[in-house]
Amino acid sequence: MAWFKRHLRNTFLTGIFSAIPIVITVVVVWYVEKLTREPLKALTGVDTPFLGIAAAVALIYILGLLVNSIIGRYLLRWLDTLLRRVPVLKDIYEAWRQITLAPGGKEGIYAQVVLVPTEGDNLAIGFTSGEAVAGNPDLCCVFIPGTPNPTAGRLVFAPRSRIINLDTPGHASYRPGMPAFRGAEAVAGYFRAHDLRYLAFVRTEQSRYFYRRAFWVQRILIDVEIWRIVGAYMVDTIDNFAELAERYPTRYDQDGMVVVDLAAPREAAR
């Protein structure tokens, strides 16, 4: 019965999250069509459905060609120089540039993991490109992730002499694309595909906060939309990890900490 309930929940959530990008695409196409159809009709006298979509795609393609051309690169360099000279905007632009642009083919601001001093004598984990701020070689831009949502956080400009490099590349985490709402075996296959044999996690009943299943179920029921979405993914992940601990041999299981060997299921490992 528990398996059937989990199957219904996961299938239903899969349908919801599969429908979201489809709905967004339909709304964007409808909006662009509505926005461009009348101007194109007045300009060309042609009233053809979705002609505005084709025109928008063509303009985006031409813009890409322009930016990649010599003229486009010259314009980008000129715009970059201009923005760096605007008194108030230059600081905001420099912070954005440190995050989004990756000089030399690096990972941008996520290239290095560092410890950076915060209030008092505290230290926080952050990410930095290692590049000095333009105009001040002694400063470095560091992004400090927030909790419990690491995609939100804050930017600080810290003296390079006070930043401690942890000698860990920013990409030293599992690759994007871990399957959700597809069951525990899909998760196990994802880890094995990336040569990750052992999975360590905290059992939900032993967690005080972040990995407690009831906490995320509550977020789904009563919280704002962003936390309902995050909660659905967290509940699915917690359930998948617990199921993997039942299907695969455990190398360690004490005080709530579990290490699962994903090499082969229990039956095959015997």
Q: SS3 sequence, 38-101?
A: HHHHHHHCCCCCCHHHHHHHHHHHHHHHHHHCHHHHHHHHHHHHHHCCCCCHHHHHHHHHHHHC
Mean pLDDT by 10 residues, the chain (270 residues): 70 75 82 79 76 80 74 72 74 63 53 80 80 80 73 79 71 66 91 86 80 86 82 90 93 87 75
CATH 3.30.460 fits 77-169, yes or no: no
Q: pLDDT value at position 169? A: 56
Q: Domain spans of the chain?
A: 2-68, 77-169, 184-269
| 180 contacts 241 by C-beta, under 8 angstroms | no
pTM equals 0.41
Q: pLDDT value at position 185? A: 93
